[in-house]
């Protein structure tokens, strides 16, 4: 089947789409951005649990605003369709058990924030959070959504690889010698991984879905088009944290803010990917959510949305100088120096791939060969280094054994009261 | 060479070695891709279903069917959200007023949420969401007889919705009773209106002015709607005879809903929960 103006066949277009999919999801990425998100999301989740602790029995337990039976009936089909939102907290009546459970939750969440045993504590934090969500159904709002989703995507990524207790322990353990496979899994390192990329992509896409539907929902209302929506938001007494009613004198500004919010939300999913528009889209995100945090009484929600938008920050900004240089060196191997063409970039590659023509494909094939050759050179070099490392390790081992023997010999001599060997210090 | 440098070198070597191991097999990629697609559909379908909701159908049947395979998964992971923040139009808040009868017979009234008592702000917001949820769940007393006869399934849904609201309200009243043991407690729902920008420009009223609150009555409105709303024009009066005007349904004094107590016996204007 022949294609359109580009002359590309359908099968070639399908193959190209598969390559784009493969690149988008399966390109290993450094986990630094996720690690920073783990710290910030963990802190927010911890704060949520601490605030809940300040009035725990009003929200969990048999005497809560929504008692256990009612919380269960909201999900078990008593008043409509049953759903899968289940929680064992519906069945806990004892205040002691409720408090013990909550203290465990706080501890686990704090461990997530500090990055201790993250392979276990992040998924566990997610599970505990879900149990609370299905118990607190009527008391939830946007914050609970975004903090849960961020935790969910962090749960299966190596988000404890840096800025964490795990990283500290890993470095400490590395000095002692080779680590077991379990230890390596527990104390993950910050090498590029597919898991980090998938977690990053899923959160990015989820944000796009949130904003797109948020924008489309707003577009259905008349007040977002005539500017009154922003007025009704800032003049809502229950939300208000700073008095912004002076805006009533500036209808033009209200309209501008209203339309800017509407268009930004609708087009976020398209404009956040190209490198050129991304900084502006993220800057507006900071402005909109900062405004919600400061003026609409939802500092936690606003802050958490800004944190989640951080997923679009490149990991290289958070890496050490040495590591960044190393990554650049690897990237330079893959670069085509002849024509100065850029390699596939994180977010603008889909556009790039769209422009690839048949003659360019041949050039890319040559480039791929070049990269493959370079990779095999790197592999050879790596194997040679590994051999050297093994030799070095065996030598160190021998020396240590010899040292131990000498020490043992000296100890024995001392015990027998024999004079020390010549050359020993006095 | 220091230990730190050794570790850095090891890390770099590991990175290089990763070139060999990081490529996943096609089979693994296919499985992971299928999981990704499933998850993304579970993320995408709930807000789409939410957008297609209408008063009559309660969601597009097509989208509802397409969403079914992802429902349970999405519900457990809390993905079943509409993301309609402040949409389609930001509206007034729904709060509750709590009345507690003290031992000396006086009544203490408070409006929840209360910024002064619920601190930090997140705790206040949780209480605010509770009051909003109560009003969102509100289903008026019913169903009407005609609906039971003509659409028993819809009548059953009405009954369930009403039971859900009543149980929610009862749970809140029970909680308040726990806070005030031995005292009579009642609550009623209020709507807190927001002045329009134009009105505010003319009269900059305090946003918590009592004039902006209105009690939401727990009474059936369908009976009012069922009444003919056309005004009967009286015949021209004959000279010498007194003119008699028929009652109009537009007069709130004569509406059946106002003149009769609602199903649960709560009089209009009487706090909900007093009869519990």
Inter-residue contact A233 to A239 (CB < 8 Å): yes
Q: Where are the beta strands (DSSP E) in chain B?
A: 93-101, 107-112, 184-192, 213-216
Short-list A183, A27, A202, CA closest to B22: A27
Short-list A79, A414, A219, A366, CA closest to B157: A79
| pLDDT, tens only, A259-284 | 999 999 999 999 999 999 999 999 99
| Residue of B89, B174, B276 for testing the chain A interface, max A β-carbons within 10 Å | B89
Tell me the three state secondary structure of residue A193. strand
R_g of chain B, CA atoms, integer Å: 29
Comparing B216 with B226, which gets the higher pLDDT?
A: B216
Q: In the numeric block, which tokens belong to residue B73?
A: 């998964």
pTM assigned to the model = 0.79
Confidence tier at A373 by pLDDT (50, 70, 90): confident
Please give the pLDDT value at position A72.
Answer: 97
Q: Is the pLDDT of residue B247 over 90?
A: no
C-alpha–C-alpha distance, residues B248 and B255, integer Å? 9
A139 to B130: CB separation less than 8 angstroms, yes or no: yes
Confidence tier at B8 by pLDDT (50, 70, 90): low
C-alpha–C-alpha distance, residues A52 and B125, integer Å? 11
Q: Which residues of B touch A223 (CB under 8 A)?
A: 88-90
The minimum CA-CA distance between B230 and chain A, rounded to whole Å, is 31
The minimum CA-CA distance between B96 and chain A, rounded to whole Å, is 12
Query: Which residue in A has a C-alpha nearest to residue B162's C-alpha?
Result: A79
C-alpha–C-alpha distance, residues A52 and A45, integer Å? 11
C-alpha–C-alpha distance, residues B263 and B162, integer Å? 11
**CA torsion through residues A387, A392, A395, A397, sign:** negative
| Residue of B19, B85, B94, B181 for testing the chain A interface, max A β-carbons within 10 Å | B85
C-alpha–C-alpha distance, residues A49 and A135, integer Å? 13
Q: Name the DSSP class of A164.
A: S
| pLDDT, tens only, A325-344 | 888 877 776 665 444 444 45
Q: Which among A84, A235, A386 has CB closest to B200? A: A235
Q: Which residues of B touch A378 (CB under 8 A)?
A: 16, 19
As for the ipTM of the complex, it is 0.79
Q: Is the pLDDT of residue A62 over 60?
A: yes
Short-list B99, B71, B87, B233, CA closest to B173: B99
Short-list A344, A369, A390, A230, CA closest to A295: A230
Neighbours of B274 (CB within 10 A): 17
Q: In the numeric block, which tokens belong to residue A400?
A: 């240590």
User: Given phi > 0 = left and psi -120 to 50 = alpha, else beta, which region is B234?
Assistant: beta
| pLDDT, tens only, B55-81 | 666 778 899 999 999 999 999 999 999
C-alpha–C-alpha distance, residues A419 and A408, integer Å? 15
Distance of CA B154 to the CA centre of its chain: 20
Please give the pLDDT value at position B217.
Answer: 93
Confidence tier at A321 by pLDDT (50, 70, 90): confident
Say how many residues make up chain A: 426
Short-list A327, A329, A340, CA closest to A367: A340
Classify residue A114 as exposed, middle or buried by CB count within 10 Å of its CB (0-12, 13-18, 19+). Answer: buried
Strands B93-101 and B213-216: unpaired
A236 to B93: CB separation less than 8 angstroms, yes or no: yes
Comparing B219 with B10, which gets the higher pLDDT?
A: B219
């Amino acid at each position: 089947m022949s294609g359109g103006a580009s002359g590309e066949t359908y099968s070639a277009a399908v193959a190209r789409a598969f390559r784009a999919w493969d690149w988008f999801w399966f390109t290993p990425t450094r986990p630094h951005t996720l690690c920073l998100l783990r710290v910030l999301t963990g802190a927010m989740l911890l704060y949520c649990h601490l605030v809940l602790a300040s009035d725990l029995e009003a929200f969990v337990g048999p005497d809560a605003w929504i008692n256990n039976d009612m919380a269960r009936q909201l999900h078990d089909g008593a008043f409509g369709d049953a759903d899968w939102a289940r929680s064992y907290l519906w069945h806990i009546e004892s205040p002691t058990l409720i408090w013990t459970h909550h203290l465990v939750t706080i501890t686990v969440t704090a461990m997530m924030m500090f990055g201790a045993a993250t392979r276990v504590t992040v998924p566990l934090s997610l599970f505990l959070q879900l149990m609370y969500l299905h118990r607190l159904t009527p008391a939830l709002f946007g914050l609970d959504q975004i903090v849960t989703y961020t935790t969910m995507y962090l749960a299966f990524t190596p988000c404890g690889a840096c800025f964490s207790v795990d990283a500290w322990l890993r470095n400490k353990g590395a000095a002692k010698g080779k680590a077991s496979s379990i230890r390596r899994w527990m104390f993950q390192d910050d090498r590029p991984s597919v898991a980090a990329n998938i977690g990053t992509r899923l959160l990015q896409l989820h944000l796009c879905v949130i904003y797109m539907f948020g924008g489309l929902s707003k577009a259905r209302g008349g007040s977002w088009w005539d500017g009154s929506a922003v007025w009704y938001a800032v003049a809502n007494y229950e939300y208000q944290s700073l008095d912004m009613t002076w805006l009533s004198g500036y209808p033009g500004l209200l309209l501008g803010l209203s339309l800017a919010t509407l268009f930004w939300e609708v087009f976020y999913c398209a404009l956040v990917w190209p490198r050129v528009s991304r900084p502006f889209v993220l800057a507006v995100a900071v402005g909109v959510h900062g405004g919600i945090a400061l003026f609409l009484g939802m500092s936690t929600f606003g802050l958490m949305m800004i944190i989640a938008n951080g997923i679009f920050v490149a990991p290289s900004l958070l890496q050490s100088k040495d590591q960044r240089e190393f990554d650049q060196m690897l990237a330079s191997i893959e670069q085509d120096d002849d024509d100065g063409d850029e390699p596939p970039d994180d977010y603008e590659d889909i556009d790039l791939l769209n422009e690839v023509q048949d003659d360019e494909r041949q050039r890319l094939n040559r480039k791929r060969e070049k990269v493959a050759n370079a990779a095999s050179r790197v592999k050879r070099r790596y194997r040679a280094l590994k051999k050297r490392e093994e030799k070095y390790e065996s030598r160190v081992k021998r020396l240590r054994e010899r040292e131990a023997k000498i020490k043992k010999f000296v100890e024995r001599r001392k015990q027998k009261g024999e004079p020390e060997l010549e050359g020993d210090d006095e | 060479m220091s230990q730190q440098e050794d570790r850095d070198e090891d890390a770099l070597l590991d990175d290089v070695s990763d070139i060999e191991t990081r490529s996943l097999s096609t089979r693994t990629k296919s499985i992971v891709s299928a999981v990704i697609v499933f998850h993304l559909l579970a993320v995408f379908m709930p807000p789409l279903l939410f957008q297609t909701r209408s008063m009559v159908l309660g969601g597009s049947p097509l989208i509802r069917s397409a969403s079914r395979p992802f429902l349970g998964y999405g519900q457990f992971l809390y993905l079943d959200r509409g993301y309609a923040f402040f949409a389609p139009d930001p509206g007034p808040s729904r709060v509750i007023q709590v009345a507690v009868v003290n031992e000396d017979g006086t009544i203490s009234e408070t409006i929840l949420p209360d910024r002064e008592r619920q601190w930090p702000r997140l705790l206040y917001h949780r209480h605010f969401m509770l009051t909003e949820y109560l009003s969102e769940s509100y289903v008026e007393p019913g169903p009407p007889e005609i609906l039971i006869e003509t659409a028993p399934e819809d009548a059953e849904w009405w009954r369930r919705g009403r039971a859900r609201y009543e149980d929610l309200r009862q749970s809140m009243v029970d909680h308040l009773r726990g806070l005030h043991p031995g005292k009579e407690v009642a609550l009623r729902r209020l709507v807190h209106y927001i002045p329009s920008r134009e009105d505010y420009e003319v009269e900059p009223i305090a946003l918590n002015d009592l004039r902006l609150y209105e009690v939401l009555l727990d009474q059936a409105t369908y009976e009012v709607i069922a009444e003919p709303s056309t005004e009967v024009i009286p015949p021209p009066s004959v000279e010498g005879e007194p003119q008699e005007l028929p009652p109009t349904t537009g007069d709130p004094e004569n509406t059946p809903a106002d003149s009769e107590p609602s199903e649960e016996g709560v009089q209009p204007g009487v706090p909900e929960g007093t009869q519990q």
